[in-house]
Amino acid sequence: MSDIKKVVLAYSGGLDTSVIVRWLQDTYNCEVVTFTADIGQGEEVEPARAKAEALGVKEIYIEDLREEFVRDYVFPMFRANTVYEGEYLLGTSIARPLISRRLIEIANETGADAISHGATGKGNDQVRFELGAYALKPGVKVIAPWREWDLNSREKLMAYCDERNIPVEKKKGKSPYSMDANLLHISYEGINLEDPWAEAEEDMWRWSVAPENAPDKPTYIELTYEKGDIVAVDGQEMKPHEVLEHLNKVGGANGIGRIDIVENRYVGMKSRGCYETPGGTIMLRAHRAIESITLDREVAHLKDSIMPRYAEVIYNGYWWSPEREALQALIDNTQEYVNGTVRLKLYKGNVDVVGRKSDDSLFDEKIATFEEDQGAYDQKDAEGFIKLNALRLRIAASKGRKL
């Protein structure tokens, strides 16, 4: 007999996790607690309650975590200008540590013996969920059905539902794209996208219009920053999740935020996916713009040098790690004077910075001007600067060394 008496499951209410509820009950003869997080996926989460009840679940957690998600996870990540492999804004990755944390907290609250998730054995999410869980509760038992069962196709999952009278929606035709959505992005994988030569179908995209179909007139917006975080849009104060919701709408309407990439998964394989991140695309461009006038040069370059490492840490699932916390402390320290306003022009898929201002700006017009600077900068000083920096080059050249 299994020593697992109660399991907390990350539950969406869809086909996979509905099957998992019954599979856990049948396989482990255990009680299942479901946890459904609203992190802005754009679908009602409350229907998950009725689906869980129909499966005999007695303890059901459904929580609105949108504000916490953006405030405590998305915003800290964007302070670092985080991009994985030059393109991916980590929309799926950044949602996992929050879900892992709540799974562990609910397990502690309910006295559960284990947690479970619906991530497959091929992807990154299994790693992210479980690294987070082990970091927060070292002895926790994790059940990953996709690594145990043989229900490895939609047809087998549907047959399992029919055999056990599991209520799920049946969709005719080919399977839909494998999608993950939250307030930061939507990801698409599978079907024709498994061929990296095949162009994504236009009707796949959910949040954005094609750039060529975007309005012919640009949209201007102003973002106000305090310590590296957006606190107002066009002068109107907003909570973090409201900022992202607004930027998603205005960005999507202007054809912003679509990417099509092949990325390197942590588990070793390459994967082709398409992502829509309109609000995040705007945020990244604007944050770099406000930093351009408020950050010291060497601090800015140091941030840029550690950013790929920080991105890799988040992508691979190490949010709850000492290295992420150390990097975050450094990043947050740099944001003390990242205050001010950025003006952007959004037009047919493009995000152009057209203005930036700050009371903490290090841009000195008196020094930077091409006109008369009234002695603010002595150009003669440059001669010695250049000669000193050329000294090692001159010595090597005088010794006949070739470049």
Q: Give the 3-state secondary structure of residue 90.
A: coil
Helix locations, 55-169, DSSP H: 66-69, 75-78, 96-110, 125-136, 154-164
* Catalytic status, residue 216: no
Residue 361 counted as an annotated binding residue: no
Residue of 22, 79, 96, 258 with catalytic role? 96
Distance, CA of 336 to CA of 227 (rounded, Å)? 5
Residue of 38, 113, 125, 229 with catalytic role? 125
Residue 38 counted as an annotated binding residue: no
Residue 178 counted as an annotated binding residue: yes
Residue 15 counted as an annotated binding residue: yes
Distance, CA of 12 to CA of 34 (rounded, Å)? 9
95 to each of 37, 65, 129, 217, 294, how far by Cα in Å? 10, 10, 10, 34, 29
State the virtual CA torsion across 114, 118, 120, 126 in degrees, nearest 10. Answer: -50
Amino acid at 233: V
Residue 175 counted as an annotated binding residue: no
Q: Give the 3-state secondary structure of residue 350.
A: strand
Residue 26 counted as an annotated binding residue: no
Residue 37 counted as an annotated binding residue: yes
Distance, CA of 391 to CA of 403 (rounded, Å)? 15
307 neighbors 83 (Cβ within 8 angstroms): yes
Residue 192 counted as an annotated binding residue: no
Residue 173 counted as an annotated binding residue: no
18 neighbors 170 (Cβ within 8 angstroms): no
Sheet holding 236-237, edge to edge: 236-237, 229-233, 219-226, 340-347, 350-357
295 neighbors 302 (Cβ within 8 angstroms): no
Residue 18 counted as an annotated binding residue: yes
Residue 88 counted as an annotated binding residue: yes
* Catalytic status, residue 125: yes
Residue 277 counted as an annotated binding residue: no
Residue 118 counted as an annotated binding residue: yes
Residue 187 counted as an annotated binding residue: yes
Place of tokens 């949040």: 207
Residue 107 counted as an annotated binding residue: no
Residue of 178, 271, 292, 361 with catalytic role? 178
Please list the active-site residues.
16, 96, 125, 178
- Residues making up the binding site for ATP: 10-18, 37, 118
Which residues are annotated binding-site positions for L-aspartate? 120, 124-125
> Binding site for L-citrulline: what residues are annotated?
88, 93, 124, 128, 178, 187, 263, 275
**Known binding residues:** 10-18, 37, 88, 93, 118, 120, 124-125, 128, 178, 187, 263, 275
